[in-house]
Amino acid sequence: MAILAIDRLSISFGGLRALDSVGLTVDEGQIYGLIGPNGAGKSTLFNCMTRHYTPDRGGLRFAGADLLARAPHQIPRLGIARTFQNVELFQSLSALDNIVVAEQHRYGFSLLAGALGLPRSRREEARARGRALEIARFLGIEAILDVPAGELPFGSQKLVEIARALASSPRLLLLDEPAGGIGSGELGAMTALIRRIRAERNVTVLLVEHNMGLVMEVCDRIAVLDFGRKLAEGTPAEVRANPAVIEAYLGEPTPRA
């Protein structure tokens, strides 16, 4: 059953067509990959979905809701969360507080209100911190929760950002370059984590990624974007064998008769 439907989505910036009639469908429970060269439109598609960009035309529906009729702050409440290619954490806050911040839209409190000692806010903050601890245990990051985010290694910051996204209890998680900037020794753990997020938290995953090893191993289906257009779509085996993908993205010329 489809949870996300993107229909002929197009957007231009100063005459440059960033997305050109892109359409795809993501089924609930899938791990779906978006690949393509830099500038192909992958992050632009994420930004349209989270309503930071408004497309020129096309449709975006999530679980039956029209995303284009929603404001950016309403998107997490629908069940969509995302991470960023360049980690966007509050660098001076602890890892724990970065996760708790994501709970605000669910429980209607703020860290400031909690600091003022308002009874309802204290209760809601305690609930949010308990949930943040549960997510930290799931990700194996309990030991770093008191460390300011800016002092953490980049790989740990990636995990904190994923924890913050999971704190909003999403049905769909948008991962932007989850393997970007992490060491080769961490790649297997990231692959396993994406699978666990789907299996143990019942979250559909849509990921943008340049690491083809991770994409081919973890994704059920893949779409390839090139100059804003969908070049190909299919299973990892189908995409790997597609001559157009090989020539345009994987860097090998198509054999000629």
pLDDT of residue 54: 96
Phi, psi values for residue 239, rounded to 5°: -70, -40
**Residue 119 structure tokens:** 């009874």
Given 112, 140, 169, the domain boundary residue is: 169
CB of 135 closer than 8 Å to CB of 163: yes
- In-domain check, residue 85: no
Is residue 179 domain-shared with residue 165, that is, in the same domain?
no
pTM, rounded to two decimals:
0.89
Is residue 178 domain-shared with residue 257, that is, in the same domain?
yes
- In-domain check, residue 140: yes
Is residue 116 domain-shared with residue 185, that is, in the same domain?
no
Chain mean position to CA 160: 13
Tally of domains in the chain:
2
| End-to-end alpha carbon distance in the chain | 42
pLDDT in single tens digits along all 257 residues of the chain? 899 999 999 999 988 999 999 999 999 999 999 999 888 999 999 999 999 999 999 999 999 999 999 999 899 999 999 999 888 899 999 999 999 887 765 555 555 555 555 566 677 778 888 999 999 999 999 999 999 999 999 999 999 999 999 998 999 999 999 998 888 888 999 999 999 999 999 999 999 999 999 999 999 999 999 999 999 999 999 999 999 888 876 665 544 44
- In-domain check, residue 3: yes
Is residue 13 domain-shared with residue 140, that is, in the same domain?
no
User: Which residue is it, tokens 């409190």?
Assistant: 109
pLDDT of residue 256: 46
Given 135, 152, 169, the domain boundary residue is: 169
Given 169, 190, 216, the domain boundary residue is: 169
pLDDT of residue 101: 85
- In-domain check, residue 24: yes
pLDDT of residue 186: 87
Nearest to 170 by CA among 101, 60, 64, 75: 75
Is residue 182 domain-shared with residue 239, that is, in the same domain?
yes
CB of 163 closer than 8 Å to CB of 175: no
Q: In terms of residue numbers, what domain contains 201?
A: 1-79+174-257
- In-domain check, residue 150: yes
pLDDT of residue 105: 55
Distance of alpha carbon 55 from alpha carbon 12, whole angstroms:
8
The CATH code of the domain that includes 47 is 3.40.50.300
Distance of alpha carbon 223 from alpha carbon 89, whole angstroms:
29
Nearest to 87 by CA among 163, 201, 9: 163
